[in-house]
Every structure is written in structure tokens, then in C-alpha cells.
Amino acid sequence: MRSVVLSLVVCLAFAGAAAAQANTGTIKGHVHLSGKLPGNPIIRMGMDPMCSKINAGKRILQEYVVATVDGSLANVFVRLQGNVPQSPVSTQPVVIDQRGCVYAPRVVGVRAGQVLQIKNSDALMHNVHGLSGKDNSFNVGQPAAGMVYQWKAKNEEIMVHLKCDIHNWMNAYIGVVTNPYFAVSDTMGTFQIEAGAATTVDFTYTGNEKSSSVIDELRVAANGF
């Protein structure tokens, strides 16, 4: 696995006196990739003429590293750990689409027990294969456009690897957590987590698929850090 260096800038802000008294706040962060930006290869879809036809005239890249010219890094999964308050699992599904023979989005977060919908928007056969080391595996076929597979993870896992065995360039990653405090950095490298109350927590980020397994921890208390 190619090793890159990630640096993370984090601040903890409180929205006014009432929020501060309640020990709530917002954690905002920026993920920055230092050093030379690695390139992403062009996806060659010739093994499936239908995929080639769908993407005719397009230059589709394997988005191992999605970063701006200044190194702001997207697709990094961020989570809070430790003694954090819980809340009911959302009834809103998280959605991954198969469109143009790629997964979108490439990285998502979901809580254990929350519905993840995997859609096929392509008029061709995909199979959806979730690779897990913690009893979250699945493997289903989706031979037609409009099909939707609904899945609930049983256990926390960072990360479940999603792939298509028919089209070996298709990859996505699912961060499964047991609390509601997680995010994925956007195309500007930023993320925001509405933090819960009261206790010190461990702040952990996990690098994206082409980084080394880099983990930084900050002790984040209700009055800052």
C-alpha cells in the first residue's frame, strides 16, 4: 500500500453561551495531504463494451486520492470515539449509486443497524460484494437498472470494502460506527461533526484507501483542547 502523510487541523467551537453551558459544540476540521500529490490512473473499461459506451468521450479516473492543488483531501472518514452520548439510529438510508460503471459516492459512513441502499442506475449487470472481517459481508447480483439492495451492518467496522466482481475497477468504502459522530471530508478537505455533550472523547481519523493506516488522536474536552 502506498504511504502518504496526512496532517489534520481541528478546532472545537461552541455556538453561544447556552450551548457552552450544555457542553455541546461543533467539531470542524480540515484534512491536508502533505508532499507531492500522487496521480490517479485512467480507468480502462474495454473489458465491458457497455461500460465503454456509457462513458464514450469521457476521461474517468480511478479516484484513489481526491485532492485540490493545495493538498486538501477528500474521502477521509472521520469519527469520534470514547464515552460519547448515544442517540437513536437514523431512519434515513445512506445511498450509494452505481452509475457509469463506478460507485458514487466512493466513501460513506453509516451506523450499525442503519439502512444502506445500493442502487444500480446502469442498464447492465453489476454485482455488489461487501468484503468484511467482522461479519458484515454480502454478495448480491443486480442485473438491471433500477434495482436497489438494502443492507444493515451488524457490527462496527472501519472499513467495509465494496467492489464489483464483474468490473474490477469499481470500489467503494463504508465506515460502520455505533455512534452518530462521524463525517467524510468533502472536496475541499473539510468536515463537520455536531458533537455531543459532556465528556472527553478520542478524536480519530482514518486515512483513505491509498494512505498508510495513519491515526492521530486529540483529547477533545467540553471546554476545548
| CA dist list (Å): 26 to 19, 76, 203 | 10, 18, 13
Q: Are residues 40 and 78 in the same domain?
A: yes
C-alpha cell at 32: 491536508
Are residues 151 and 186 both part of a single domain?
no
Domain count for the chain, please give it. Answer: 2
Label residue 139 exposed, middle or buried (CB < 10 Å: 0-12, 13-18, 19+).
exposed
The answer to whether 195 touches 24, Cβ cutoff 8 Å, is: yes
Cell numbers that stand for 13 in this block: 467551537
75 pLDDT above the threshold of 60:
yes
Same-domain status, 168 and 222: no
- What is the mean predicted confidence (pLDDT) over 62-83? 86
Query: Are 168 and 186 within one domain?
Result: no
Q: What's the pLDDT band for 203 if we cut at 50, 70, 90?
A: very low
Cell numbers given for 16: 453561544
Poorest-pLDDT segment among 3-17, 74-88, 126-140, 203-217:
3-17
- 167 and 91: one domain? yes
**Binning pLDDT at 50, 70 and 90, where does residue 24 land?**
low
Q: Do residues 174 and 156 share a domain?
A: yes
The mean per-residue pLDDT over the stretch 165-177 comes to 95
Higher pLDDT, 97 or 72: 97
Q: What is the pLDDT of residue 191?
A: 86
Instruction: Please check whether residues 145 and 198 belong to one and the same domain.
Output: no
pLDDT tens digits for range 136-154: 999 999 999 999 999 999 9
Same domain for 72 and 105: no
Q: Average the pLDDT over 158-183 and give the result.
A: 93
Strands 102-104 and 126-131: unpaired
- Determine which of 26-40, 145-159, 168-182 has the lowest per-residue pLDDT on average: 26-40
To the nearest whole percent, how much of the chain has pLDDT over 70?
75
- Give the domain CATH number at 153: 2.60.40.420
d(CA 39, CA 19) in angstroms, rounded, equals 43
CATH of the domain at 29: 2.60.40
Domain extent, residue 35, equals 1-84+180-225
Q: Average model confidence (pLDDT) for the chain?
A: 81
The string of pLDDT tens digits covering residues 207-221 is 556 654 444 444 444
Please tell me the predicted confidence (pLDDT) of residue 73: 86
Within the chain, what is the greatest distance between any pair of CA atoms? 61
Which pTM was predicted?
Answer: 0.83
User: Same domain for 105 and 142?
Assistant: yes
**Residues 136, 58 within the same domain:** no
The answer on 202 and 151 residing in a single domain is no
SS3 readout for 129-141: EEECCCCCCEEEE
pLDDT bracket for residue 196 (50, 70, 90):
low
Q: What angle do CA 23, 28, 33 make, to 5 degrees?
A: 145
99, 163: one domain: yes
